[in-house]
Amino acid sequence: MNHDLRPKSVLRTYPHWFYLPAAIVFGVFFLVPTLAAFYFSMTRWTLFDATYIGFDNYVRFFQDPQLTAGLRNTAIYAVMTSGLKVIISLPLAILLTSRLHLKSLLRGIIFFPVLVSTVAVGITFSVLMQPSQGLINTVLRALSLGAPDWLGNPSLALISVALVDVWKGLGIATVLFISGILSIPNDYFEAARLEGGAWVKFRYVILPLSRNAAFTVILLSFIGGLRTFDLIWTMTRGGPGFASDVLTSVIFKQYQAGFYGLSTAGNVILFILVTIIVYPLMRFFNRRELEEL
């Protein structure tokens, strides 16, 4: 791979300086602050001046009882959203690649929430999930299914937000599966049709051959879940109490409080955590794809 045997004249068509503009912007506005974060995380920082205090902020952060809850919630949220998106979107994709007349309309309907602002979705669902008057509970009560306090019950708040996240992000997952299914050569379906019915088609054709799509869905929503902030912040602000706090909202609260050094330490912990979890996941899921990167 490192020995490119193509003639120089061809390689010259792909000059390295094409990297330069992107490298400058990305370097200055992303890499520098990210690296600087490692230093500032070891200071007591007021933005005016930074006093070096070693690892105190990290010790602090791990003493903070919120953090353990935040860590646990982050994991629950990421696993739940990515899992549910796969479980729901695969059957949906199969439905929407079948002989449905309305399939393009339905695809569009499912996809639209992806494009809507998180703030708008958060506000709308906070109202829909209102316990005594909200639409969701009105419907549930009519069906005698009970009326949970979606966002107010501490043991339910995080799950409720995760469900809204699934609602908003289902479109991408479904679209990914649809394209996975559409890229399966027709011969396989023919063979499955001869072998048996729909189950064979699902179990031996669609399921194995949309593996790549499933990996992409899981990976994308897992990363999104670990970094999630906007929706939680607009719907519960991590509450009630600390019940739906995730790492990013804990970091954000420290930041709001003016504990800039401490907040940055949290940021660094998040970098490390996300890398530790996602990188092996990437290798595990898609070795070939990684090599190709």
As measured in angstroms, the least distance from the Cβ of 144 to another protein is: 18
Q: Which of 5, 8, 12, 197 binds another protein (CB under 8 A)?
A: 12
212 makes contact with another protein (CB under 8 A): yes
- The answer to whether the beta carbons of residues 158 and 76 sit under 8 Å apart is yes
Candidate segments 79-87, 190-198, 200-208, 223-231, binder of another protein by CB under 8 A: 223-231
Q: Within 10 Å of residue 202's Cβ, how many Cβ atoms?
A: 14
Candidate segments 71-79, 130-138, 190-198, 201-209, binder of another protein by CB under 8 A: 130-138
Candidate segments 74-82, 113-121, 189-197, 198-206, binder of another protein by CB under 8 A: 113-121
Q: Where are the beta strands (DSSP E) in 28-177?
A: 43-45, 50-52
| Residue 114 or 200 with smaller CB distance to another protein | 114
119 makes contact with another protein (CB under 8 A): yes
Q: Please tell me whether residue 148 adopts helix, strand or coil conformation.
A: coil
Q: Please tell me whether residue 100 adopts helix, strand or coil conformation.
A: coil
Looking at residues 233 to 292 of the shown chain, list those that interact with another protein (rule: CB under 8 A): 234, 237-243, 248, 253, 255-260, 262-264, 267-268, 270-271, 274-275, 278-279, 282, 289, 292
Q: What binding mask, one character per residue, do residues 73-112 give for another protein by CB under 8 A, x or -? A: ----------------------x--xxxxx--xxxxxxxx
- The answer to whether the beta carbons of residues 238 and 249 sit under 8 Å apart is yes
113 makes contact with another protein (CB under 8 A): yes
CB-count burial class (<10 Å; 0-12, 13-18, 19+) for 242: middle
CB-count burial class (<10 Å; 0-12, 13-18, 19+) for 40: buried
What is the sign, positive or negative, of the torsion defined by CA atoms of 279, 285, 287, 292? negative
Q: Which of 62, 87, 91, 117 binds another protein (CB under 8 A)?
A: 117
Looking at residues 171 to 190 of the shown chain, list those that interact with another protein (rule: CB under 8 A): 172, 175-176, 178-180, 182-183
CA distance 67 to 265: 12
| Residue 87 or 138 with smaller CB distance to another protein | 138
- The answer to whether the beta carbons of residues 240 and 181 sit under 8 Å apart is no
Q: The tokens 């970091």 sit on which residue?
A: 251
Residue whose C-alpha is closest to residue 145's, from 136, 153, 154, 158: 136
Q: Which two tokens stand for residue 152?
A: 């107010």
Cis peptide before 131 (omega within 30 of 0): no
As measured in angstroms, the least distance from the Cβ of 73 to another protein is: 13
| Residue 191 or 290 with smaller CB distance to another protein | 290
CB-facing half-sphere around the CA of 285: CA atoms within 13 A: 18
Candidate segments 70-78, 132-140, 185-193, 199-207, binder of another protein by CB under 8 A: 132-140
As measured in angstroms, the least distance from the Cβ of 5 to another protein is: 12
| Residue 193 or 237 with smaller CB distance to another protein | 237
- The answer to whether the beta carbons of residues 89 and 76 sit under 8 Å apart is no
| Residue 85 or 253 with smaller CB distance to another protein | 253
52 makes contact with another protein (CB under 8 A): no
How does DSSP classify residue 184?
S
As measured in angstroms, the least distance from the Cβ of 53 to another protein is: 9
As measured in angstroms, the least distance from the Cβ of 239 to another protein is: 6
